[in-house]
Chains A and B, each alone.
Chain A
Amino acid sequence: MKVVLTSSGESLDSPLDPRFGRAQKFILFDTDNNEHQVVDNSQNLNAAQGAGIQAAQNVSRLNAEYVITGHCGPKAFRTLQAAGIKVIVGVEGTVAEVIEKFKAGKLTPTEASDVEGHWI
């Protein structure tokens, strides 16, 4: 199963980036073979608006089943939901630590966005 984690760096030791739309990097992790791939998000990092929506579109193209991040706003959440992707929020630690927690079944998907949207 493929999961996308928001990361502040390119290695699995990097701390999870608390932001979804404007995350530094995405790490696409495959729990079937423990392989991972770093996906750049700099385009959305500097977007004037709609970063969360664009990021959600990009994630949907990666065929991930889960997004694991710190926070997710309403527009990004709605887009991820439409793409059938489950969202886990409120997570902290390094990417590697979070993956272990996820594999151990300690993380549960959220039913709604956990932060307010930006003004536009």
Chain B
Amino acid sequence: MIITIASGKGGTGKTTVATNLAVSISSSIDNTPVWVLDCDVEEPNCHLFLKPEIYTSEAVGVPVPKVDKEKCTACGKCGQFCEYSAIVALKTVPITFPELCHGCGGCSLICPEGAISETKRRVGMLEKGQSGDIGFVHGRLRVGEAMSPPLIRAVKKFVFKKGLTLIDAPPGTSCPVIEAIKGSDFVILVTEPTPFGLNDLTLAVDMVKQLNIPFGVLINRADIGDNRVSEYCQAEGIPILLQIPDNRKIAEAYSRGMMIVDVVPGLRETFMDLYFRIKKMCGQQHNEEA
């Protein structure tokens, strides 16, 4: 089973939910292997809380075109084909803009002279490790790099179908978020009960509905702000999965890189219960193998 933790607005508590849910389940259910995939590759932070021991690290690249000037006849077909202006054909040998290339490989297929081959452009690092019983994978996007989906795809290759995979998605509703979410069995949308939280939640809800994935809302710091998030969820028939109160102890634990389930009594059981309810909503019984 794959559960993705996403949000419209950043800073609402995605990582807190992902890591504490992982720890709660892995420490309490013996037959469910848990993997955490941190797909927020622009600023991954699950490792700050899970403190995994990293045992492999590899570079991830995207294919970009390389033009053989000897073979090129400057016919211009590659430039006409490219939607992203990553290869431009003027009256001469084409020039390339690797930072714009989405790596589709179309230019090399369309070149009648076979003059275009592919070379790799590094977009980031993939690291794999272990935190207690929790398997851990994350991507670290190269500083200055704008194209994160290829790295997110590389992280998602480690989705573990037999156990539980928790994906920490980037905030927002753009391509990287969709890349992180797609293929999930359930999405937890984390929000805060503020006008900003509500605005971005509605955008995230529209996105998840388009992807046709079951979802529910988790309201973090539930006693700040106003009631409009709850009212919105009720009006739209969206289940409110859990409300986490605005608790100073939680903020202190978070700021020290600690698990909030270790400082708030009963919270571990609350997260376990959340997991069982999500399984039920996905049509699975909690006594079955996931």
A interface residues (Cβ-Cβ under 8 A, vs B): 49-50, 53-54, 56-57, 60, 75, 78-79, 82-83, 119-120
Nearest to A82 among chain B residues (CB) is B95
User: Does B146 lie within 8 Å of A53, measured CB to CB?
Assistant: no
Once bound together, how far apart are the Cα atoms of A57 and B146, in whole Å? 24
Chain B residues closer than 8 Å to A78, beta-carbon distance:
95
The interface stretch among B18-26, B53-61, B82-90 is: B82-90
User: Does A60 lie within 8 Å of B91, measured CB to CB?
Assistant: yes
User: Does A53 lie within 8 Å of B91, measured CB to CB?
Assistant: no
Once bound together, how far apart are the Cα atoms of A82 and B92, in whole Å? 8
Smallest beta-carbon distance B272→chain A, Å: 42
Smallest beta-carbon distance B31→chain A, Å: 45
Contact of A57 among B79, B84, B147 (CB under 8 A): B79
Name, among A50, A56, A60, A83, the residue most crowded by chain B CB atoms within 10 Å (CB to CB). A50
Chain A residues closer than 8 Å to B100, beta-carbon distance:
49-50, 53, 75, 120
Interface size on B, as a range, is: 10 to 19
Contact of B85 among A54, A60, A82, A83 (CB under 8 A): A54
User: Does A53 lie within 8 Å of B97, measured CB to CB?
Assistant: yes
Once bound together, how far apart are the Cα atoms of A88 and B79, in whole Å? 25
Indicate whether A119 sits within 8 Å of B85 (C-beta atoms), given known contacts A53-B97, A82-B90, A83-B90. no
Name, among A53, A79, A119, the residue most crowded by chain B CB atoms within 10 Å (CB to CB). A53
Nearest to B89 among chain A residues (CB) is A57
